[in-house]
Amino acid sequence: MITRFARRVVPGFLLCVALFTAGCGGGNGSTTTTTELTLTSATAVLGQNGFTSGTANRAGPADATTLSQPLGGAAGVSGGAFYVPDYGNSRLLGFNTAPTITNSAANFAIGQADFTASLPNSGANHLALPGAAWVGGGRLVIADTGNNRVLIWNTPPTANTLPDVIVGQTDIDGNSPGLSATALNSPVAAAIAGNRLFVVDQNNNRVLIWNTVPTQNGTAADLVLGEADFVTNAAATAQNRLSQPSGIWTDGFRLLVADGGNNRVMYWTSIPSTNGSNASFVVGQATFTFSSTAVSGQTMNTPVGLASDGTRLFVADSGNNRVLIFNSFPIANNTAADDVLGQESFTRNTANDDDGSATNPQDGTAETAPTARTLSRPTGVFYLNGRLYVTDRGNNRILLFSE
pLDDT attached to residue 250: 98
Q: How far is CA 121 from CA 32, 34, 118, 146, 305, in A?
A: 47, 48, 9, 9, 25
pLDDT attached to residue 13: 21
User: Could you tell me if residue 260 is left (phi over 0), alpha (psi between -120 and 50 degrees) or otherwise beta?
Assistant: alpha
Longest CA–CA separation in the chain, Å: 58
pLDDT attached to residue 32: 41
What are the tens digits of pLDDT across the range 3-48?
443 332 322 222 222 222 223 333 333 344 444 568 999 999 999 9
* Res. 284: pLDDT tops 60: yes
Q: Average pLDDT of the chain? A: 91
Higher-confidence residue of 229 and 19: namely 229
Cα 267 from Cα 344, distance rounded (Å): 27
pLDDT attached to residue 123: 84
What are the tens digits of pLDDT across the range 308-330?
999 999 999 999 999 999 999 99
What are the tens digits of pLDDT across the range 257-270?
999 999 999 999 99
As a dihedral over the C-alpha atoms of residue 275, residue 198, residue 151, residue 218, rounded to 10 degrees, the angle is -20
pTM of the full structure: 0.92
pLDDT attached to residue 11: 29
Domains observed in the chain: 39-348+377-402 (2.120.10.30)
Decide: residue 369, CB within 10 A, 0-12 exposed, 13-18 middle, 19+ buried.
middle
Residue 233 and residue 216 in contact, taking contact as beta carbons nearer than 8 Å: no
Q: What percent of the chain lies above the pLDDT cut of 70? A: 91
pLDDT attached to residue 26: 33
Cα 2 from Cα 340, distance rounded (Å): 9
pLDDT attached to residue 2: 55
Confidence of residue 124 (pLDDT cuts 50, 70, 90): confident
Decide: residue 213, CB within 10 A, 0-12 exposed, 13-18 middle, 19+ buried.
buried
What are the tens digits of pLDDT across the range 191-209?
999 999 999 999 999 999 9
